[in-house]
Amino acid sequence: MFDRLQAVEDRYDKLNELLSDPAIVNDSTKLRDYSKEQSDIQETVEVYRQYKEAKAQYADAKAMLDDKLDADMREMVKEEMSELEETLVDLEARMKILLVPKDPNDDKNVIMEIRGAAGGDEAALFASDLYRMYSRYAEANNWKIDVIEASTTGVGGYKEIIFMINGRGAYSKLKYENGAHRVQRVPETESGGRIHTSTATVAVLPETEEVEIDIHDKDIRVDTFTSSGPGGQSVNTTMSAVRLTHMPTGIVVSCQDEKSQIKNKEKAMKVLRARIYDKFQKEAQAEYDAVRKSAVGTGDRSERIRTYNFPQNRLTDHRIGLTIQKLDQILEGKVGEVIDALIVEDQSSRLENLED
């Protein structure tokens, strides 16, 4: 492990030299790539240097015990060594986690797609609850939400809502939400008090840059149409809504949230790029089956990952067997406790795979 840490520190120092080179400074692509690489390993280097400093302090303190010290001074040195031992253990644990390969998408913005699935109006209402939960979680993290497309029902739920969450590290936390979410509750229209079970699916896609995936204009068919509100009611008489079809993959994206056709096309293009990237990633993962999947992973969209039980105010994440008896708070956006537990489990699993 320490050989790897030293190699990371050496690379960090090399990057410092490169970023001071006028030839690199004048090359925007290399400057961006080297700056990102340095930023990605900075925390690892800082923790490693803290570890080496604490190790040196421990060695100095231990050497002092060999000198002729009075009882009080010897006790002080032993106390300092005990504190340094705890520090070294903590720093070593952090370094192990930091050496786990990082998901290259972790720092990216997120495109989320929530759809009501089994359960009709109840599923659509649950999709609305999930959107509200993620919106409030995003607000707590100072992330910005931008709705791209929404299809509502007559009872106020969402058949589908697609939105972007802009904020550094958004994907690193929200990628675990990918999958089927199940709700158990008594609908307001249920006179007999029976509990109904409905589901909604959540797709989490990292926003991709143009340099990451090559999409040719000739492969995209652009259709324009008038936007409409709930129930097909026309809300715009201009051809501002946009539908993009990627011919090679058959992926279709529509956007009518903005009054401007140009803005709708820009938004639709972001979703299209993310979906194509997601498709290629999944195909590559299927071929590369030698790579172990972590215990948590990011969840297949058809997999039931979580149950929201209203009568018992209980949330259960089935992937890690986590049960929390405060569903009301979680639906108000306090879902961080669940997400943090998933992150810890994922890191632990990947660390075990790394050590095998």
pLDDT, averaged per 10 consecutive residues of the chain (356 residues), comes to: 83 89 87 84 88 90 77 84 89 80 81 87 91 95 90 85 90 91 82 80 81 74 72 55 87 82 84 83 58 40 81 93 94 93 83 62
Report the distance separating Cα 263 and Cα 84, nearest Å. 57
* Residue 210: per-residue pLDDT: 55
Tell me how far apart the terminal alpha carbons of the chain are, to the nearest angstrom. Answer: 13
The verdict on pTM exceeding 0.75 is no
Report the distance separating Cα 10 and Cα 41, nearest Å. 11
Contact criterion met (CB below 8 Å) for 243 and 254: yes
* Residue 300: per-residue pLDDT: 46
Strand order in the sheet with 251-255: 220-225, 241-246, 251-255
Query: How is residue 91 written in tokens?
Result: 């720093």
* Residue 127: per-residue pLDDT: 93
Query: How is residue 198 written in tokens?
Result: 């409905």
* Residue 355: per-residue pLDDT: 57
* Residue 311: per-residue pLDDT: 92
3-state secondary structure labels for all residues of 190-235: CCCCCCEEEEEEEEEEECCCCCCCCCCHHHEEEEEECCECHHHCEC
Query: How is residue 308 written in tokens?
Result: 């929201």
Within 13 Å of residue 337, how many CA atoms lie on the same side as its CB?
Answer: 14
* Residue 169: per-residue pLDDT: 86
Nearest CA-CA partner of 181 in 114, 88, 279: 114
* Residue 230: per-residue pLDDT: 44
Contact criterion met (CB below 8 Å) for 342 and 319: yes
Nearest CA-CA partner of 103 in 343, 264, 288: 343
Q: How many CB atoms lie within 10 A of CB 33?
A: 12
Nearest CA-CA partner of 308 in 321, 298, 323: 323
